[in-house]
Every structure is written in C-alpha cells, then in structure tokens.
Amino acid sequence: MRSFIKFADTLSTSMGKAFSWCIVILMGGTCYEVIMAYAFNSPTLWNFDFSLQMYGAIFMMAGAYTLSTEAHVRGDVIYRLFPTKVQAWIDLVLYFIFFFPGVIALAFYGYEYAALAWKIKETSWNSPAQIQIYMAKSLIPLSGALLTIQGVSEVCRSIICIQTGHWPSRAVGAEETEKILMRKSQKGDQQDVI
C-alpha cells in the first residue's frame, strides 16, 4: 500500500506542477490582450476563449494535486478533535459514500463527452473565433482518472492509519496558515529570549 501511495502522490504532484505552468500562459495571454486592446486598439477574438481553456485546465488538473497535499477546503472544526483512528474511519467511509461515485462518474461520462467532442471536432459555440475545444474536453476524463487514483491512495492512507494509529507521511505537505504563523511566532519568541 505504501508503494501505491508514493506512486499516486508522485503522479498527482507531477501533474499538478506541470499544469501550474498554465498560470504563466494564462497571464501572458491576458497581458497580450490588454496591450493589444488598449495600446493598439486592436483586441483579439480568440483570447477570451483561450483564457477560459487555460483556467479550465488549471482547475481540472489541480484536483488530484490538491487532494494529495491536503490543500483542499475542509470543514474540520469537530473532525480535528477526534482521535486519529476515528478520523481515518470517517475518511474511509466518506470516500466511498461521496468521493468515489462522483469522480468515477466524472471519468466515465467525461470520456464519452470528450470522445464525442473529438468525433465532431467541436468548436466553441459562443466564440466569434470558433476556437476548438475538443482537446480541452479531454482533460475531463483525465482529471477523473487522476482523482480516482489519488482517492485510492487516500483510502490506503486511512487503512494504514486505522492499523497503526498514525497517518503515513505525504510527499508534499500543505500547512494551514495559522500553523505556519504560530511556528514563526514561537521562533520569534525564542529569539527574543536569547
């Protein structure tokens, strides 16, 4: 199980970091549009749709990375008060009730949706430039597949935690801002004492 967790975390992290470059491309496209529109009075027809596709790629492909780093939004006001094994049981049950039905449907029906888009070489119906969108729709089933793999990894984490009483370590960890600030504050207090 630990080797699968490492594989899933590495895959999710790699994909998340690779698609994070879409932010740079998105920013470049936006800057280009602003310069063309305001400096040269010649706005583009394609840039709005291009920006939507870049944002969609970031959003879809960051899901598994966010799950692997525990950076998603979580209402854990009561959850964090429970013992670790109880947290693992809660996660295990909720993954099967809520998570897997949604992401498996995303992968399965997303494949059909993307396949149809490729078959008809779909273009954006609301774009004056008629930008092609079938390639972007391929990210829907890919995102569902990556989320499913990372979800299996999270289930493995829960099982290990139930057995050992400790959560397995993560390849890349995300910390809550309050924890980072508290740690910095404690370091500052220690330096004041010295």
At residue 100, the 3 state secondary structure works out as helix
* pLDDT surpassing 90 at residue 146: yes
Residues 6 or more apart from 16 whose CB is under 8 A from it? 61, 62, 64, 65, 66, 68
Above pLDDT 70, what percent of the chain? Answer: 92
Please say whether the beta carbons of 163 and 4 come within 8 A.
no
Q: Is the pLDDT of residue 32 over 60?
A: yes
Higher model confidence: residue 124 or residue 176? 124
Residue 48 corresponds to which amino acid?
A: F
Checking if the pLDDT of 52 tops 90, the result is no
Rounded CA separation 119/156 (Å): 38
Q: How far apart are CA 120 and CA 113, in angstroms?
A: 11
pLDDT for 82 equals 92
Task: For residue 130, give every residue at least 6 positions away whose Cβ sits within 8 Å of its Cβ, in sequence order, or none.
Answer: 123, 124
For the ranges 104-108, 139-143, 179-183, 190-194, the lowest mean pLDDT is seen at 190-194
How far apart CA 53 and CA 126 sit, in angstroms, is 13
Query: How far is residue 43's CA from residue 40's CA, in Å, rounded to a whole number?
Result: 8
Given a contact cutoff of 8 angstroms between Cβ atoms, the answer to whether 129 and 46 are in contact is yes
Distance CA 67, CA 35 (A): 37
Average pLDDT score, the chain: 88
Mean pLDDT of 94-119: 94
- The fraction of the chain above a pLDDT of 90, given in percent, is 61
